[in-house]
Amino acid sequence: MAQIITFANQKGGTGKTQCTVLAAAALAGLNYKVLVIDADDQQSITTARQFDNPTPEAFQLITAPSEDLYKVLSEQDHHQDFIFIDLPGRLDMNLPIKDQRITKALMYVDFLFIPFVSGNYNLESTLKFINAVKRVEALRADQARGIAVYGFINMYVKRSRLNDYLKQDIEAIEDKTGIPFMEGPLKRLTAFSEASTTESIYNPKARNEASFNFAQWFNELTNIIDYEKG
């Protein structure tokens, strides 16, 4: 049975697709069976894969609308170690919680990681998204497979006043919602935004800034997954 993971936030520009590619490629590079389902309307991962050179270690990619997620997951769950879902970027606030594309997809997910980027969201909007996530948690309370929710800072820039404000808001989010945050941020680096869909950049022995930062973040991510699944 696969661990089903998504990076999601209703705000655009938080790097959810970038994080999906980085994490999926790293796990595939460690010889896990990894599938990415591109259910985002923009299909950024599908487009990027067309320009990347295929390698035997690359993660498998399926392009499917969010309406087909249950079918794809039912077919793939027992054939993969990890399944990542790249979802649309906005909540359908005019629809009931069970019918919104993102929240409906979250009914199948084991891990939701919410990326936060300084200067690219407001606290009220974020709390609305987290409130929707909490309602999904409640709907799944009686299911055998629950959902673990974590936040993290993405595209971090040192000595930025906006990042200082973001840290203050995250403290408020933790207090109001009880959602834990990863300790390590993922920095704003060209190596991440230009990462290939077919090659892993995970190299814990390297000491350049990108490799060191990603290894720290990725190790914390996988430790969380190992801890939550027991």
The per-residue b/e assignment along 8-43, b for 16 or more CB within 10 angstroms, e otherwise, is: bbbbeebbbbbbbbbbbbbbbbeebebbbbbbbeee
| Alpha carbons 71 and 85: distance in angstroms, whole number | 13
Among 113, 132, 130, residue whose Cα is nearest residue 5: 113
Sequence-distant (6+) residues with CB within 8 A of 229 are: 3, 110
Query: What pLDDT, in 10s, does the model give residues 188-230?
Result: 999 999 999 999 999 999 989 999 999 999 999 999 999 998 7
**In this structure, are residues 56 and 81 in contact, taking their beta carbons and an 8 Å threshold?**
no
Judged against a pLDDT cut of 80, whether residue 83 lies above it is answered with yes
Q: Residue type for 177, please? A: T
Q: What confidence tier does 100 reach under pLDDT thresholds 50, 70, 90?
A: low
Which region, left, alpha or beta, applies to residue 58 given φ > 0 means left and ψ of -120 to 50 means alpha? beta
* Residue ranges in the chain assigned as alpha helix (H): 16-29, 44-49, 69-76, 101-105, 123-139, 161-177, 190-193, 209-229
pTM: 0.92
From residue 184, alpha-carbon distances to 144, 154, 181 in Å are: 30, 9, 9
Q: Region 145-173: what's the mean pLDDT? A: 83
Task: Judge whether residue 122 has pLDDT over 60.
Answer: no
Residue-range domain boundaries for the chain: 3-229
Beta carbons within 8 Å of 95's beta carbon, 6+ residues apart: none
Whats the size of the chain, residue-wise?
230
CA-based diameter of the chain, in Å?
A: 49
Res 98: pLDDT = 61
Q: Are 33 and 1 within 8 A, CB to CB? A: no
Q: What is the architecture, at CATH level 2, of domain 3-229? A: 3-Layer(aba) Sandwich (3.40)
Of residues 75 and 165, the one with the higher pLDDT is: 75
| pLDDT per position as a tens digit, 19-74 | 999 999 999 999 999 999 999 989 999 999 999 987 888 999 999 988 899 999 99
Neighbours of 217 (CB within 10 A): 25
Among the listed residues 43, 222, 17, the one whose alpha carbon sits nearest the alpha carbon of residue 115: 17
Higher pLDDT, 188 or 161: 188
